[in-house]
Each structure stands twice: as C-alpha cells, then as structure tokens.
Amino acid sequence: EIVLTQSPGTLSLSPGERATLSCRASQSVSSSYLAWYQQKPGQAPRLLIYGASSRATGIPDRFSGSGSGTDFTLTISRLEPEDFAVYYCQQYGNSPYSFGQGTKLEIK
C-alpha cells in the first residue's frame, strides 16, 4: 500500500499570500495518478486537482498542482478567505487507493 505523507500538518497564512502544500508518497505513483481535495467543516470533500495537475471543473485558476513520482505539490497562488480549509491528497495509481492525513490551512 502506498503511504502518502502531507506537510506541513498546519499552515498559517493570511489572505493574499501564496500557499504551498506538499504530498510525498512512499513509492512512485503510477502515471501521476494523484488528486487533491478541499474539505470544509461539515461538508464532503471537493475535488480540486486530478492527474497531478488537471483542475477539476469550476476550480479557480489560483489552484494548481504539480509533481510526479513521489513528490507532489498543491499551490494556491493568492489565498482567498474561502480557501481556508483542510486539504487532502489521494493516489489512485495503485490499489488500495490511499489518502494523505491532510493539511489544515488556517488564517494567520
């Protein structure tokens, strides 16, 4: 099973700043089959990125994904107030699917 480790656990930033979230895999993720999700309290997760770098429908272009192999990054170029949430990465290149433990993005 591929273990995904996200860092940092908590990221404290201000609106307008740039956020960089990391997801590292215990082994190479096949064909960059990696997705990112945003989750707000009491809500289901929302898909942001799939295929490591493809934005899902309706996702603002301030969200971008990059990386391959074992190292992946989600970047939010300029934080908006609604971006403060928990973010998860997920790999779907190997069974079983697995998620990272999450990064909480909080307002500084």
Asked if 102 contacts 4 with a C-beta cutoff of 8 angstroms, the reply is no
Q: Which residues form the interface with another protein (CB under 8 A)?
A: 1, 33, 35, 37, 44-47, 50, 56, 88, 90, 92, 95-102
Residue written as tokens 């609604």?
Answer: 82
Q: Which is nearer to another protein, 1 or 71 (CB)?
A: 1
Q: Which is nearer to another protein, 17 or 31 (CB)?
A: 31
CB of 86 to another protein, least distance (A): 9
CB of 57 to another protein, least distance (A): 8
CB of 80 to another protein, least distance (A): 21
Q: What angle do CA 68, 12, 49 make, to 5 degrees?
A: 30
- At position 56, the amino acid (one-letter code) is A
CA atoms of 49 and 65, how far apart (whole Å) = 7
Q: Which is nearer to another protein, 6 or 19 (CB)?
A: 6
Q: Which is nearer to another protein, 18 or 27 (CB)?
A: 27
Which two structure tokens, joined as six digits, stand for 103? 């990064």
Q: What angle do CA 102, 106, 108 make, to 5 degrees?
A: 150
